Amino acid sequence: MVSYLVRRAFRAILVVIGVSFISFSVLFLSGDPTDTLVGEDWTVEEVRKLRHDMGLDRPWVIQYTTYVSRAVQGDFGESLRYRQPAFELIMERVPATLELAAVALVISIVLALPLGIISASMRGSPYDYGGMIFALFGQAMPVFWLGLMLILIFGVHLGWLPVSGRGGLEKLILPSITLATYSLARNTRVIRSSMLDVLGQDYVRTARAKGLAEWAIIHIHALRNSLIPVVTIIGLEFGHMLGGAVIVETIFAWPGIGRLMIQAVYAKDFPLVQASVTIAALIFVSLNFLVDFIYSYLDPRVRLV
């Protein structure tokens, strides 16, 4: 098991390095950030000095190497817009993003489990068809469209809920539902499919032949084995929610990493964008590593992969 986890950790490190390399390359090709900092009355010499002070006049490889050497020490540079350390700015907003993603994940799991189990245990019934229709529409609706519709209905027309900012529970309802809908729909389909596969196994048919109640067969014999692939999906879903939060946070003015990243992109705040992408990648691969550990515990066969 130790060797398996070591291999997974090594792959996770390679993923973070790859993400930082690609994002740094894209930022380097997108233009000179000094264009947003200089004024019309700046001389050529002043602009050249600014680029030198920021290290932008050095070769790209040197810039990337310098960034990596500082990043491993926790120094992601200073934000060009806020004039503060990028790492501190991101850490201030991490709790808001994690709060939104965690609540959305809980909503998707709590609702997907009963929906998937009911659809599987009552296959071909109106409940099954209703659950699958919901899953279809849930995965087909764009996140930005769903968010705008919820704002329009519950915020503007009905006036039941606030539509922006972070605060009490009422401000968390609309963005968390928006973020959770796609995952809820997909998890429902995954749980249904996994349950149907387990319910078709020989040991389940044997349990039925012995006269066990259907609820006992589902909860005692089928549910645990059907959750093995679901664990992987749930771990990945949380990582995807962190990425999807970029859109949701922008729509609902939620003060998280995603909104900060969008603002940094518009302002060409390269250090802040690079730090945001790198830290988001670190969180994502850390979650995947945790899922791998849990998965290897539930199913020892994966330790041989």
CA 136 to chain centre: 21
Q: How many CA atoms lie within 13 A of 253 on its CB side?
A: 8
Q: Which residues contact 51 (CB under 8 A, 6 or more apart)?
A: 32, 34, 57
- Residues 80-135: tens digit of each pLDDT: 777 888 888 888 888 888 888 888 888 888 888 888 878 877 777 787 788 788 88
Domains of the chain: 87-266 (1.10.3720.10)
Q: Can you name the residues that pair with 85 across neighbouring β-strands?
A: 78
Alpha helices for 122-222 (secondary structure H): 126-140, 143-150, 170-199, 202-209, 214-216
Alpha-carbon gap, residue 108 to 185, rounded angstroms: 8
- Residues 147-156: tens digit of each pLDDT: 888 888 888 8
CA 299 to chain centre: 25
Alpha-carbon gap, residue 264 to 258, rounded angstroms: 10
- Asked if pLDDT for residue 302 goes beyond 70, the answer is no
* One-letter amino acid for residue 224 of the chain: R
Q: Can you name the residues that pair with 78 across neighbouring β-strands?
A: 85
Alpha-carbon gap, residue 288 to 296, rounded angstroms: 12
- Asked if pLDDT for residue 245 goes beyond 70, the answer is yes
Give pLDDT, residue 39: 59
Give pLDDT, residue 134: 81
- Cβ-based burial of 120 (10 A; exposed 0-12, middle 13-18, buried ≥19): buried
Q: Which residues contact 206 (CB under 8 A, 6 or more apart)?
A: none
Query: Span 2-14, mean pLDDT?
Result: 74
Give pLDDT, residue 258: 82
Give pLDDT, residue 170: 84
